[in-house]
Amino acid sequence: MSGPTLRIAVAHFSHETVTFLKNDTTLGDFIYPGSPARGEALLKFDPKSYMGGFVKMAREFDRVELVGIESPLWPRTGTGSGWITREAYETFVGRMIAEIRADQPFDGVYLCLHGAMAVRGVSRPEAELARRVREAVGPGVLIAATFDLHGNQNEEFLKHADLAFAVKYFPHYDGYLQGERAARTLVRAIRGDYKPAHATVKVPIISPTVVQWTGASPWMDLAQRALIWEASEPDVYVNVFFGFPFADVPDVGMTVQVLTNRNPELAAKISRDMSAAAWRQRKALLTSTKVHTIPEGVALAKQAVQNGETPVVLADHSDRSGYATWLLREIIAQDLSNTLIATIADAAATAKLRDQGAKAGDAFDMEVGGLADESAGEAVRIQGTILNAVEGHGQLWACIGFGRDNVLILSTYLVQIMEPLSLGALGLDIGAFQVMAIKSRVHFRRGFHDNGFAKTILLVEPTEPFLGTVRLDQLPYENVDLKQYYPYGNPAFPG
């Protein structure tokens, strides 16, 4: 293909902020070997997800130049940290804008985002980033973005940007695909072949993430409905943001966003259809997933072991710090055996082990976890033997054998185990465990459920409603009026 070379600036800024956690996400949390990243390092940092898909597709076009703008990668705390400081946000956005201004002209900008970032003093951080990028590049330059479906969004982002593509599945299987679509549509839009018209509708439903699995109805039906619209109408893209309720920000709740090629009426029609379908299913959306209390769940796990329904996954969906010990304590109280607990986060304990040069075979006797805040519970004393202690992914991992063939994995930060094979890297024999107690809501289904690995799946949370609870009315919101959302109030269906 002939024609001038297209220059596209590529930037990344992603976080899913649990604002109820006490530890802010600071500038320092974003700075570690590899982050911030720029140039090819940024373009290659996540080859199997949004960025990888975007880069692969953009480079399938001739004469497209991608410019990796210096960007922070995910903070080293993962999702286990609270409000992003104003300093962190302003520092990185300031540098991005300066670099984009200095390196102009660009024909397009790609922003690789999550959508549930919460920044002190900035009520809509992704929209604010888009606004500043627009100010820098001017009105004629196309701006595209990809999002996680947990984004807390409204119409503000697309006032400043042109294109948005969110994943449809939870677990998020389709990040790479959405990156590809963003690249293709952005290049087409730059060349005048796609002129985005969009509609955004807030659907007043707020739901805890643990219920949002798209592997079963009615969440599956919502994803399917969006896919059917995309299959039957050329150039239509349907984003259904389920929303992230553990951020105290104004745009929580569900949002439907539809993009069409020069057809605002069609965008409005599809957004009405999608939001009406969600609204009709509102009761089932909230009630289709059973969540047990931890004592109940551990008793059910024991029963499942007796019935040979193993392996059993016990997923504490509610732990947002990684330090929570409720499940560990109950596993000890009910005397489970052959149980893996992955993980308890404890930065002080892992630092101590590192200082001691802990190694396999050493005796272990320490209080672990707890105390990060009330949701984490009390520290639990574990006496056993260190099976393995290794550095990886910027943290220390220690496997401790204790009790009747139980293994506890200690980590420095919150870890969400999504598939059992990742545990093999720690030298564990996965087949030896009858019960696996993990900290995950839905992402674990990728490697434990969708593939048929686990025979029994039990979702649990502490008896008391702590910060990751399904009982959202127990959370100390200041910027959200739950009465405006189903099931806590009786809002009117929009439109």
Contacts with Zn ion, residue ranges (CB under 5 A): 148, 150
Residue 16: exposure state from Cβ atoms within 10 A (0-12, 13-18, ≥19): buried
Give the span between the Cα atoms of 436 and 214, in whole angstroms: 22
Closest to Zn ion by CB, 126 or 148: 148
Residue length of the chain: 495
Q: Tell me how far, at minimum, the Cβ of 82 lies from Zn ion, in Å.
A: 17
Closest to Zn ion by CB, 99 or 148: 148
CB 84 within 8 A of CB 212: no
Pairing of strands 406-411, 312-316: unpaired
Closest to Zn ion by CB, 7 or 114: 114
Q: Which amino acid is at 48?
A: K
Q: Tell me how far, at minimum, the Cβ of 66 lies from Zn ion, in Å.
A: 25
Pairing of strands 254-261, 237-241: antiparallel
Closest to Zn ion by CB, 7 or 172: 172
Q: Tell me how far, at minimum, the Cβ of 360 lies from Zn ion, in Å.
A: 36
Q: Tell me how far, at minimum, the Cβ of 243 lies from Zn ion, in Å.
A: 10
Distances from the Cα of 400 to the Cαs of 303, 388, 412, in angstroms? 25, 7, 14
Closest to Zn ion by CB, 150 or 181: 150
Return the closest-CA partner of residue 311 out of 444, 134, 163, 128: 444
Q: Tell me how far, at minimum, the Cβ of 150 lies from Zn ion, in Å.
A: 4
With CB atoms as reference, the residue minimizing the distance to Zn ion is 150
Residue 492 gets which letter from DSSP? P
CB 54 within 8 A of CB 64: no
Q: Tell me how far, at minimum, the Cβ of 365 lies from Zn ion, in Å.
A: 38
Q: Tell me how far, at minimum, the Cβ of 148 lies from Zn ion, in Å.
A: 4
Give the span between the Cα atoms of 185 and 195, in whole angstroms: 9
Closest to Zn ion by CB, 16 or 346: 16
CB 302 within 8 A of CB 335: no
Element (H, E) at 284: helix 282-287
